Structure 1
Amino acid sequence: MGSAYELLVPSLPEAARVERGYVTPQQVYNLLNAEDGQPALFDPHYILILDCRSAERYKENHVVTARAAVTVIHPELACLISSTQLRNYSVILLYAQQGSSPVGSVKAKADSLDLQRCFFQLSALGMDPVILLGGFSAFSALYPFLCTPRMVLLEHEHRTLTIYPSEILEGALYQGSASQAADYRIIKNLHITHVVNATTNCPDAFPNTLCYLRLHLSDNSQQDLVEALPLASKFISAALKAEPGGRVLVHCSLGKSRSSAVTLAFLMEHRRWSLLNALRWLKERRACSAPNINFLSQLLTYEEQLFGSRLTSLEDIHR
């Protein structure tokens, strides 16, 4: 951890170079696995995913919960579901097989004429659809476990889906719940090698297979983080630098408070971000993150220790 002789120089998170109207595969992964109280994907009106490829490719494999675009936006019949129904969705996502050309460009039409048609028809109805950058090929290469030949459309079918931890640093750092940390399919699919267990009562699920750091933290106003934060940051940093590169899952009971404090401390120390910038980064990837007021106060102190001065205030955080 920083001292008076080795204070860190703060830096800013690199801005994502994504054109408006596009989302990255990682953003789609986190949209599919968002939760607050219960998984967002369990709400049938949370996200409408339209597969703008051929019917054959859709039947072969598609992003989980996706519908064939032709079943919603027909070339001749136009929109097959009402604009009122469409407005019920929080997110409307379109994807082709591949492609990342600006909407409306000649190259984009060559990438997928069907996707362009769907985009402009939905826009004309007052919708604000987004397009998956790189298409299905980019998403399925990173997240094959979130692709399926099965149609998953009904609410009870949504409730059978596996919800994965949030991806905080792409292909490296994840944050989630104790139940996710105990699901071997999740561990295997994400290639997790190291786990930070920030609970008092959840046992390490796979001690013979994974490397664990057990912190024994309570989510209350008395819990002291002075030893835990630098210890966890050092553990995560060493894991990510391991050869071949490690992948770390940080978890507490629900993946909201204790795990967030650990993740934020790591981002502050090893990305040299202020608490405010680290918190914004985390919230963009895991909206349910909510370290308790005691942890936030201690993270402000940690920030001062790392950088030599307070860069963030509680007022900044609650704005």
Structure 2
Amino acid sequence: MGSVLSKIKKVVSIGFYAINTFFWVLPIITCGFLKLIPIQPWQHFISWLAKIFAGRWVACNSLIQNVLTPFKLEVTGIEDLKPKDWYLVIANHQSWVDILVMQRLLHNRIPFLNFFLKKELIYVPFLGVAWWALDFPFMSRTSKAQLKNNPSLRGKDIETTRKACEKFKEVPVSIVNFVEGTRFTEYKHKRQKSPFKQLLKPKAGGVAFVLQAMGEQLSKIVNITIHYPDGIPTFVDFASGKVKRIQVHVEVIPISDALIGDYSNDIDFRVQFQSELNKLWQDKEQKMKKLSENEIA
């Protein structure tokens, strides 16, 4: 009987997620096309409207979870967040469920979560327009081969990204970066010989690039540690109602000048930055251990 109920929950909840996404993505895409009108106050209004629609999408996802697949979300450290501030959000990454958890947890507590995207993704049919409507920053990264052939391109990617992010000087934003670069699996953990038991090695380049491009605009880092007491779930597990508890610890860290520098060309800064990020990951490992032992309150 339990297996049948789980399958019914899975089909129904995935269906509602799909309907909810389709329902809200249409007005967001429409906003994207309307935003093509090159009048700045109009574009600001359309961006605001698109984020309203995206926020409704997140709220409806949470409603689906509450009604069909309820679970206990145990959170600590969230009281220091503000909806009108500039944040870089970093987190460990174990499952696609992480994104749903973060959206639910941070909805209306900080600005809508934005992801840095490769500039080529703006040409993805419909979605590229939707991401642009939501002000997702499209970054330009110059490859080592391109720099070797044309050294004058050095620093061009940072300059281009800074221009793309100028809009955030007046509009609060939250930029998300999964520092490990990929989801945790035992295979990946073993292959990269990670020194952490429950985490992959942090990749410093992406975070350093965001801070170099937007350091003047961002004021704080939101360091999120997610732990699944009953094992890392898949999205299907989550949609089937198999996830009963999720633990999250939130830490707000000021962004100091020591975290902003030229990661690509300044060797001393690169070593220092990698050291700081490794310390942060060591601390995250300890937090995950305490969460598993229910010691964080």
TM class by shorter chain equals under 0.3
Normalised to the residue count of structure 2, the TM-score between the two structures is: 0.25
**Larger Rg computed on CA atoms:** 1
Structure with the larger helix share: 2
Higher RCO (CA 8 Å, separation ≥ 6 residues)? 2
Normalised to the residue count of structure 1, the TM-score between the two structures is: 0.23
